[in-house]
Amino acid sequence: MFDATVREGVLRLRRPETRWLSTGWDGGRSRGDAAYNVSVPKAFDRTDLGAYRDERLARAGFISESDAGGDGDPPTLFTGVAMEHARGARFGPVVAYATVGLSNPAMLPMDPASGSDGSVDGDAEKSPRRPGTVNLIVGTTRRLAAGASANLVAVAAEAKAATLLATAGVPGTTSDAVVVGDDPTGEPAAFSGSATPVGAAARACVRDAVRASLRSRYPDGDVPGPAADAEHGVVADERTEVFKP
């Protein structure tokens, strides 16, 4: 299975020659031995994320300083959540790790008001970037078809949203990201929907990892969702034109 290590505020999920698909910064498809989730400080304002990633991975001893800036950059997510709150869950051919912070919820009301600017805290372009993020790294020992790999991102995001709606009243935040990894030498899997072994396991693992990280991050249950009148975030509150094609 995948090997998880946390050092110096960095989570590394490692399995040799894994194929990765990331929705995060500098994302897309890649191949390598590891994916990372990096905790950043509260006042984080660095924009040179590649250099910053290399600094943090070197400080944690995951790469040497001579390796910094090399080819084959690993998939890396960033979060304001401390790695002490990272939690993992494993079932069958899947493992999932989550870090949950909800300071900037992204809400989607089912009865939207007309004329909203879609923002909780004013002009989103002028507002400082907030570190609240729900990051997921999901790995499977199956060899996924290209479409199944992309679909597993959707499966993980759906499970994350369902879990957060049930536990915190919001489907996610403005900066959530997902990385999925599969084994190119594993048993082939053409599909990853919720009725497949990979999809079913991923849904359960994401649910339990998200719930565990949420409990760790907010042990008193005081989550900064709508009930807590979150200070930062967005609301998709516009009314659209709906039509039959």
Query: Is 27 domain-assigned?
Result: yes
Query: Is 26 domain-assigned?
Result: yes
Across the range 100-110, mean pLDDT stands at 90
Q: Which residues contact 186 (CB under 8 A, 6 or more apart)?
A: 93, 140, 141, 142, 143
- φ and ψ at residue 57, rounded to 5 degrees: -70, -35
Query: Is 91 domain-assigned?
Result: yes
Query: Is 243 domain-assigned?
Result: no
- Domain hosting 199: range is 3-235
Query: Is 15 domain-assigned?
Result: yes
pLDDT at 5 over 70: yes
Question: How many structural domains comprise the chain?
Answer: 1
Mean pLDDT for all residues in the chain: 89
For the stretch 199-235, pLDDT in tens is 999 999 999 999 999 999 999 988 876 644 556 778 8
Here the CATH number for the domain that contains residue 162 is: 3.60.70
pLDDT of residue 126: 42
Across the range 21-28, mean pLDDT stands at 97
pLDDT at 12 over 80: yes
Q: How confident is the model at residue 18 (pLDDT cuts 50, 70, 90)?
A: very high
The gap between the terminal CA atoms of the chain, to the nearest Å, is 46
Query: Is 244 domain-assigned?
Result: no
Hey, how many other C-beta atoms are within 10 angstroms of the C-beta on 160? 25
For the stretch 124-141, pLDDT in tens is 444 444 457 999 999 999
pTM for this prediction:
0.90
**Two tokens, residue 135:** 């990051």
pLDDT at 69 over 60: no
